[in-house]
Amino acid sequence: MLRPRILIIDDEPNMGRSLSILLGDDGQREVVTARSGEEGLERLDDDTQVVLCDLSMPGMDGLEVLRRIRARAPEVEVILMTAYSTVQSAIEAMRLGAHEYLIKPFTNEEVSAAVESALMLARPSRRLKLRAREPDRLCELVGRSEPMQRMFRVIERAAESDATVLVTGESGTGKELIARAIHDLGPRRAGPFVAVHCAALAEQLLESELFGHERGAFTGAHKTKIGRLEQADHGTVFLDEVGEMSPAVQTKLLRALAERCFQRVGGLETIRVDLRVVAATNRNLETMIREGGFREDLFYRLNVVAVTAPPLRERPGDIRLLAELFLKEKAAELDVPPRRLSPAALLALEAYPFPGNVRELENVIERAMVFADGELLDTVDLPLGAAARPMPTFESLIGPAVQNAWPRLQELVKSLERQLLTRALSAYADHPNEEIARLLGTSRRILELRLQEFALKKKT
């Protein structure tokens, strides 16, 4: 297990030395020092959890250091130290997100308490360092596109609290993976994660599944059953497809969430639970409320923090990443040789709308690996359905009289495309290919194939 890393930034050598001895004396922490704000930022790395920084230093002062740390590593807790306290500087420090504002001279106990408090907050935030090393993943979620990166940021912020979360999105977008990520990154990660699939059970069975039942409560109840809410005590309960609940179960769930207690079906004992709730649905609950199908008060109880899972068609740039991941996973699961996609197959995948989202992509890759004979998977190996059928050619749609103009038109289109790409590379030379592709309304993979076709490169 890595030792907590503390960075001390102070232009006074004696102060840096004293704090280093105090905070690193037990050998349980790694303490590094810097003599200026500039040096401190250079020594700030992915393992730094807490920074103690002097407010008044030559060159870059403590407030500027704080601003830059918040922009570069928002998970790091910063404690400012000063011998010249003013109300204005203290307010500005707190506004910028400082963890603590210590007035010199302070006692050893004061600084130790401030550091311990900061470390308690910083430890859960070490998950952000995993993101820094593996930016395309958050737990089991995968994606480098802006919609996914935006969702990752919401998940990280939501996980820091104990607030109830409502995850919305189409079927196959990974709503349960989102719920698991919130649990795994949150303060209850040591507790159980219990999933309840509300759409799979009839009303009486769902009520028993959620709250449990006593022996003899109904026909077939031969023994007492512990409900899912009770099983999730001190952990997280995930209510999948919560929009499928009947009005009666919605009412009982609302009361249980509000009071954090309930009774088993057929029971009299009040059972209290301490748990976090994450709910998910592929339905529009606000429309259901207007139509009388979902309780408005339950919706607001669940929709404290909203997370939206983007459909795959809105992030085609992630298709190659996901496909390569599934190729590796399925090769291991099916015990078959590794396979790879041809350029044409990849283009076909990126052009397909995937109504079944990531789950459909996974199934397409798995079936292709089962039935394909060679190492290379081509378009004929991909079971993409009617939505992927090739469009009629331009020649088949025009009359014979104008077909002679078709080659010239193709040349004109290629010339215009080459000019567009040349200008884009010149205007956005400092931008990554993914950002250029987004600005052009295409995927990074298609952009790179076009650049290769036209032998174009960025100017360095």
Structure confidence by residue, pLDDT tens digits, 240-282: 999 999 999 999 999 999 999 999 999 999 999 999 999 999 9
Rounded to the nearest 10 degrees, the angle between the axes of helix 87-95 and helix 62-72 is 10
Average pLDDT of the chain is 85
CA dihedral of 391, 393, 394, 399, whole degrees rounded to 10: -120
Which pLDDT score, from 0 to 100, does residue 251 have? 95
**Structure tokens given for 434:** 């993914």
Which pLDDT score, from 0 to 100, does residue 122 have? 62
Q: How far, in Å, CA of 94 to CA of 92, rounded?
A: 5
Domain range list for the chain: 5-127, 134-308, 314-388, 399-453
Q: How far, in Å, CA of 222 to CA of 69, rounded?
A: 60
| 433 Cβ contact list (under 8 Å, min separation 6) | 444, 447, 448
| 182 Cβ contact list (under 8 Å, min separation 6) | 155, 158, 159, 165, 236, 278, 307
Residue 385 — left, alpha, or beta (φ > 0 → left; ψ -120 to 50 → alpha)? left
Fold of 5-127: Rossmann fold (3.40.50)
Percent pLDDT > 70 in the chain is: 89
Which pLDDT score, from 0 to 100, does residue 174 have? 95
- Candidates 157, 140, 137; CA nearest to 148 is 137
Low-confidence ranges of the chain (pLDDT < 70): 1-3, 25-27, 85, 87, 121-134, 385-408, 459-460
Would you state the CATH architecture of domain 134-308?
Answer: 3-Layer(aba) Sandwich (3.40)
Which pLDDT score, from 0 to 100, does residue 400 have? 54
What is each CA distance from 59 to 36, 66, 103, 349, in whole angstroms? 8, 14, 21, 54
Which pLDDT score, from 0 to 100, does residue 399 have? 54
Task: Judge if 134-308 and 314-388 fold alike in CATH terms.
Answer: no
Which pLDDT score, from 0 to 100, does residue 373 have? 82
Q: Are strands 261-263 and 141-142 parallel, antiparallel or unpaired?
A: unpaired
What is each CA distance from 72 to 41, 50, 65, 66, 75, in whole angstroms? 10, 14, 10, 10, 9
Strand partners, 306: 166
Would you state the CATH architecture of domain 314-388?
Answer: Orthogonal Bundle (1.10)
Which pLDDT score, from 0 to 100, does residue 10 have? 94
Q: From start to end of 60-198, where are the E strands?
A: 77-82, 100-103, 137-138, 141-142, 165-168, 193-197
Which pLDDT score, from 0 to 100, does residue 404 have? 62
Q: Taking a C-beta distance cutoff of 8 angstroms, is the pair 75, 128 a contact?
A: yes
